Every structure is written in C-alpha cells, then in structure tokens.
A and B are shown apart, each in its own frame.
Chain A
C-alpha cells in the first residue's frame, strides 16, 4: 500500500518558468514605465480620441467636458441635457457660469503670474463623442475670459 507520509526523497519545485515569466513581465513594465510629468486619472464619462502627438500632459485639466457634465476644477458648472449645454445658461454663444468661473481663475492666475495681460492657456479634457457645437461654446467662453491657447487632451498612439 502506498504510504502517504513523508519520504526521504526531497521534492523540489521547478521555479525556472516562474522566473522567466517574472523577467518578461518586469521588462514589459519597465518599457511602459511612464515618465510623464503629470499622471491624471481620466473621468469615467470621458473617452479620449487617439492622436499622433508626443506632447505630454503637463498640467491637470482645468475644464472637463464629459458625456453628462461640464466641470471646472472638479466643480460642476452645468449638467448637460442629451449631451448639449442647456439653452438657459448660454448667452451670445458663451456659457455664462463657465465664463464666470474662468474669469475668477484668470484673476487668480494673474495675481501670482509675473507677466500680466498675457493670453492664457487652458487644458481641456473632452469626450471624443462631443459635437463641435458644444466644444465651440466652451472655447468661446474661455476666449471671453482671455484664454486663447488650448491644450486638447488626447490619448497617445503607442
């Protein structure tokens, strides 16, 4: 009858395949190790389009246009109705609450900036399915608050 108890023969586990897998995994992870200056977690309501750009994100996005809402610095400015900005908050093509928030931001930036009256730059996170009709209102509101250069967030093609 076979004995279940321990025998004198040592049982050794072959760990070489595991080491191989670990080595390959580490190589893969090191190759993909991000050295971007800013790491930003995307909003659940935002899917970014792919682009060939190599310019990395260098600041956290200020304005976020997701599927359901428009936000400035994680503060909801207005909810979107069927993906569009409600007409009651739009005047002459600009979104008034967004414009007011950006004017405050502009004033705060100027208070700490060395060069005043220089057109500002805004980083914008936009869902890839958003229509230009909505994007245009956001950009116009920002332009009225003296932000004329925009960094549109995209996903890099690796």
Chain B
C-alpha cells in the first residue's frame, strides 16, 4: 500500500495579494453613476388654496358643529396678527400680535399649538398677507401654521418637522382683496 502524501496547508513565506482592481472598477462606475444622478437640492411642495365660489349644493354634515372657531392670520412687514372668533354668538374675538422675526414666529407657532390642543378638529386657517411681503417670509409663516414640530431640528424632535400637520388647510384670503 502506497503511502499517501498529505498536502500541507502551512503558512508559507510567499505573500498572498488580493486583486482589488475589479473592486475599484466597480466603485469608480458606481461613483460616476451616483454623482450624475445626485440631486443636491431636494424640491418639495406646500399645498395652499385660494377662496372660490361654487354653485354646487352644500353637503349636509350633521357631525359638523354649528358654532366653531375660525382662525385668521394677518401677516404684515413687521408683525403677525392672530385672530380667533366663533362663527356664532358669543363670538369672543381675540387678537394676539407677534413680531415678524424668527422668535416672533416661534411664539406665534406656540399660540397656534395651544389653540389646536383645545380644538383638535380644526384644520383650516385663513391667511392674509401684505402686498409688500416677499415669498420667503410667507413660506416661514406657512411652515409655522402647517407643521407641528416647526422650528425644531430633526434630531431634537425625533421626527421630521414636516411629518405631522398642525393646520393642514391654509387659504390665502388676500388673493381676492
């Protein structure tokens, strides 16, 4: 019986090198593809409405309360006026004024949060803006009205500020004025 010679898997002196060239090729192609398809400015949308007249018959909604709160916001160059009143007597109108600054907008947002906490069914805000106001400033106010975690960073709130709506429906009332 012949004596079998066992292969030796011992560590030899010769160094084993991994051929990384295919790896680099794939990485290069992937990098090129991703760089070309990268979008560095992500575009989103803010939904708003303008008032309109309709000849459609009104839909009877028995669950809708007869006396409900109306919120209107007037944005001017230097201040924001938040007015609330009920649709029926006693209307109890109240107006609060905030500065048109980042701190003022945060306080305005906090006031809206308070209103929402006691009127959870409310979804609509009527927004009036001054003609000289620029679009950038209007978007700041829209954010404060529409989103729950406005002004908080993603890390602080744990969620994206735009994930939860505060008042989803914003009607630009001054378009018809």
Contacts and interface: CB of A to CB of B under 8 A. Distances in A.
Contacts, number: 169
Given A29-B38, A49-B136, A132-B132, A153 B45 contact: yes
Interface residues of A, number: 55
A127 B146 CA distance: 21
A133 B44 contact: no
A40 B134 CA distance: 23
A54 B148 CA distance: 13
A118 to B, nearest CB: 10
Interface in B64-117: none
Given A36-B43, A54-B44, A130 B135 contact: yes
Q: Is the interface of B mostly helix, strand, loop or mixed?
A: mixed
Contacts of A49: 135-136, 139-140
Given A133-B132, A148-B49, A150-B50, A51 B143 contact: yes
Interface stretch (A70-78, A97-105, A106-114, A135-143): A135-143
Given A49-B135, A52-B160, A55-B162, A15 B24 contact: yes
A39 B36 CA distance: 13
Main secondary structure of the interface of A (DSSP, over half): mixed
Interface in B115-169: 129-136, 138-140, 142-143, 146-147, 149-150, 160-163
Closest 7 CB pairs of A and B: A29-B34, A54-B162, A52-B161, A151-B45, A34-B39, A133-B131, A128-B136
Interface of A: 15, 18-19, 22-23, 25-26, 29-30, 32-34, 36, 39-40, 42, 48-58, 119, 123, 126-133, 135-136, 139-140, 142-143, 146, 148-158
